[in-house]
Amino acid sequence: MSQAATETSTNKVQVSSQLAKKMLRYRWVCYGILLFTYVFVYFDRVCPAVVAPELMKEFGLTATALGILSSMYFYPYAAMQIPSGILSDYLGPRFSVGTFFLIAAIGTIIFGLSKTFGIAIFGRFLMGVGVAVVWIPCMRILANWFRPKEFATLTGLMLTLGNVGAIIASAPLAVIVGAMGWRAAFYWVGAGLVIVAILNYVLLRNKPQDMGLPTVSEIDGVEYYKTNDASDNATFLQNCGKLFRMKNYWLIAIYAFCIYGTVMGFQGLWFVPYAQDIYGLSKQTAANMLMLWPIGMACGCFFIGLASDRVLKSRRKASLYGMIIYIITWLPVVFITEQISVWFFYPLLFLMGFFCGSYVPNYAHVSEGQPHSFIATANGMVNIWYFVGGAFFQTIMGRVLDAYGKVGGKFPVEAYQKAFILCIIALVVGAIAMYFTEDSKALQKG
C-alpha cells in the first residue's frame, strides 16, 4: 500500500516519547525473529538441488519422480497462502508462525527418516505446509508495525536474508551431507526448526497494542492506513471479489508464475544435475557455483526493493526492467548450453540470482489499493502463483529430461537445452504481463 495513497492528516495524538521509542525498537525484534525464521523457509525450499543425486539413487527415481518429490513442497505451500492470510489477519502472526513451524519441523525430520518414496513425499508435503505460514504473517507484521513507505524495502530485506538459507543449502549443505549423510543433516535441521518455533512464541507480538504501545500512525500523527472507509468494512468475499476484478492481480500472477517457476526449476533442482551431467563437475563444485545464485538474489532483492521505493518510485518499472535483464542472463544457458566456460558460471549465476529478485516489488504492487485488514490475505492470493509456478517447472523440466532419457547414465545436452528454452519462453510471457500492469496513481504522484 502506498503511503501517498492512504496518508491523510490527522490530529496529533499525544504519545509518550518513552513508549514511542519502545515501540520503534521492539518492532525490529518482531521483524528480526521473522527474518531468522525465513532463513529456514528458504533452506527447506531449495535443499533438494544438492541432495538430488542421493535421492535419485536411494529411491530409484526418474527425473520426473524427482521433480514431483521436490515440487511436493510447493503445492501445499501454494494451497496454504489463502489460509495463511486469513490466519495472519484474524488470529495473528504469533500463533500462525509458531504453530505451523512445528509442523515444518516434523516434516523435515520425517523426510530424513523416510525409507520409502511415499514417506519422503509425505515429509516434503509437511515441510511445505509448515513453512507456508511465514511470509504472509510477515506482511501482516509490516502492516501493523511499519510505515507503508518502508514496505518494499523491508520486503526486499527479508528476501535478502532469506537467501542465507539458500546459501546454506548449497555448498555448506554439500559439505555436511558428505560428512554425515543427507539423513542426519535433515534431523539436525528439524531440531533447529523446533527451536525457531519456540522463539516465535516467546518474542513475536502481533501488533503494538498487544504491548500497550502506540502505532506508527499515532507516533507520526499520520493516518497511514484508513479504517473508516467502506472497503475496510467490506466482507472477506467482497474484498476477494474486488481483488479478482483487478487487472493488476492477474497480470502480476502470470509474472509470478513465470519468474519464480524458472528460479525453482533451475536453482531449486536441476542446476546441480546439469553441471554434473554436461560438465562432469563434482557435486561439491556444482554446489559451490550454485551458492552464487542466492548471494546474487540476496543483493538483488534488497536493491530492487529499495529502487522500487526510493529511485524509480514504481513497482511496475522495477519488476519489468529487472525481468528483462534476467531474461538476458538466460541466453547463454539456452543457446550455448554445453559451451559455457566453467568459470563463467560464477558471475553468471550471481547475475541470474540478482535480477530474478525483480519480483520483490510485486507484494507492494498488490497491496496498494487494498484495505488494511486485507493486506496479508491479498499477498497470500498472489503468493499462490509463485509456488504453483515452482511446482510446475520442477516437474515439467523433469518430464522434458525423461522424454530424452539418459545416455550413459546422464541426460544429454539436448534434453537440458529444451528444458531451458521452455524457461526463457515463459520469462518473455511474464515480462509482457508486467508491461501491461499499472502503478497506483498515488504512487506515481508520490
Domains along the chain with CATH numbers: 26-207+234-445 (1.20.1250.20)
* Locus of grid cell 543483493: 299
pLDDT at position 446 is: 44
Cα radius of gyration (the chain): 22
pLDDT (tens digit per residue) in 205-240:
998 998 888 888 888 777 776 644 555 567 778 888
What the block records as the C-alpha cell of 378 is 491479498
Q: Check residues 383 and 226 and name the one with the higher pLDDT.
A: 383
- Say how far apart CA 386 and CA 145 lie, in whole Å: 26
Give me the chain's average pLDDT, please. 85
Which residues are paired to 410 by β-bridges? 407
Q: Given pLDDT bands bounded at 50, 70 and 90, which one contains residue 5?
A: very low
pTM: 0.77
Q: Is 207 helix (H, G, I), strand (E, B) or coil?
A: coil
pLDDT of the residue at 360: 82
Q: Rounded to an integer, what distance in angstroms lies between the CA atom of residue 224 and that of residue 139?
A: 15
Of residues 92 and 328, the one with the higher pLDDT is 328
What residues are paired with 223 via a beta bridge?
8
13 secondary structure, DSSP code: P
What's the grid cell of residue 279?
A: 560438465
Provide mean pLDDT across the span 269-289: 90
Identify the residue whose cell numbers are 505460514: 133
Amino acid identity of residue 184, one-letter, is A
Question: Of the candidates 90, 371, 367, which has an alpha carbon nearest to the alpha carbon of residue 229?
Answer: 371
pLDDT at 2: 41
pLDDT for the residue 322: 93
Each residue's pLDDT tens digit, 14-67: 667 888 889 889 999 999 999 999 998 888 888 887 888 888 888 888 888 988
